[in-house]
Amino acid sequence: MDREANLMERNEEIPASAYSQHETASAGFAPPVRVVAFGKVDEDAERARLVQGLLRRHATIEPKYFYDARGCALYERICTLPEYYLPTVERGIFARYREAILRELPHAPQWIDLGCGDGRKSPDWVRALKARRYVGVDIARGALSATVARAIRDYDETEALGIACDFSRSLDLRAVIAEMADRPAVFFYPGSSIGNFPEPEAVALLRSVGDHLTPGGRLFLGVDLVKDRGALEAAYADAQGVTAAFNRNVLAVVNRVADADFVPDRWEHQAVFDARAARIEMRLVARENQRVRIGDQRRGFARGDSILTEYSHKYTIEGFGALLASAGFHRVRAWTDDRRWYAVFVAGV
């Protein structure tokens, strides 16, 4: 049986849900790459959870709903903004400590790009390590095949695979990794995306990554560090309003997924650093009193009421090291920039 049939047998195709529907970017990449949907998604249960979050007194939307086609494109723009220092500082650490980082990673691994997005951060590592396989994992399935093709474009020796799944619910790639049992996995999780999870969920996700690691396997991730409020808040409220558009766009996604009638322009973007909780809290604040239909329910929002859309937790190097330890990681190395604004960790179990 070929490997694809094997995978498809063991994993049901996810029914396309509105937040994961966007066109496959056809950037002219030649070979079609294998994209597999993983994990059963109970769409009714997900929708019910979303509606429940919106009806709560302190309304919430999970950040995974940001990433429809427009949300992905806006995120790529955010990464080019002068205020959003994270990608630049991360890139600087990668460049400065490239050799030291490479020494901590296994040769010819299976490279698992968690929340791969446009996948642009992987090709240099994939080539340098002669990765045997690139696995792009993302909830935004529409862009996956282009991302995966791009990640291996200049390096023919790598097999490529895209996995569409929601790893906030469960992460189980053991069957995939076992297909190349002799090649350890590197889980690459850059961009400080781990910061979107409150600590117990972050520990659970990292623990589940650790459960996938065979001898030599590593977690390789980037984490934004605590710094002064001004720099943090500017990073999430840029002068051009791109982050505001990204934040408001989640309401358009919610309208599709939950059959709601939010009017995005009636909501103001807000990003505040809560120093006690060490996190940016991103919200949408009602500009005026309004009633919104959410499926077959209605709820009123008074002017000034808000919906929490994202946390971005900030860490110290020591604090994140402790979090890694509580998730079962022990062989930890970290690199930072001169200002200690951001850190890159490689860890093993």
Ligand X SMILES: C[S@@+](CC[C@H](N)C(=O)[O-])C[C@H]1O[C@@H](n2cnc3c(N)ncnc32)[C@H](O)[C@@H]1O
For ligand X, the binding residues (CB under 6 A) are 64, 67, 75, 115-117, 121, 138-140, 166-168, 190-191, 193
Q: How far is the CB of 20 from ligand X (least distance, A)?
A: 8
Q: How far is the CB of 190 from ligand X (least distance, A)?
A: 4
Q: How far is the CB of 234 from ligand X (least distance, A)?
A: 18
Instruction: Quote the CA–CA distance of 139 and 286 in Å, as a whole number.
Output: 28
Q: How far is the CB of 115 from ligand X (least distance, A)?
A: 3
Q: How far is the CB of 287 from ligand X (least distance, A)?
A: 27
- The residue (of 140 and 292) whose beta carbon lies closer to ligand X is 140
According to DSSP, the β-strands at 110-114 and 218-224 are: unpaired
- The residue (of 305 and 310) whose beta carbon lies closer to ligand X is 310
According to DSSP, the β-strands at 218-224 and 342-348 are: antiparallel
- The residue (of 25 and 292) whose beta carbon lies closer to ligand X is 25
- The residue (of 155 and 197) whose beta carbon lies closer to ligand X is 197
Q: How far is the CB of 78 from ligand X (least distance, A)?
A: 9
User: Residue 335 has which token pair?
Assistant: 């690199």
- The residue (of 11 and 193) whose beta carbon lies closer to ligand X is 193
Instruction: Say what angle helices 199-212 and 317-326 make with each other, to 10 degrees.
Output: 60
Q: How far is the CB of 298 from ligand X (least distance, A)?
A: 29
- The residue (of 11 and 301) whose beta carbon lies closer to ligand X is 11
- The residue (of 64 and 279) whose beta carbon lies closer to ligand X is 64
Q: How far is the CB of 236 from ligand X (least distance, A)?
A: 12
Instruction: Quote the CA–CA distance of 1 and 38 in Å, as a whole number.
Output: 19
According to DSSP, the β-strands at 133-138 and 290-294 are: unpaired
- The residue (of 116 and 323) whose beta carbon lies closer to ligand X is 116
User: Residue 58 has which token pair?
Assistant: 């302190």
- The residue (of 115 and 184) whose beta carbon lies closer to ligand X is 115
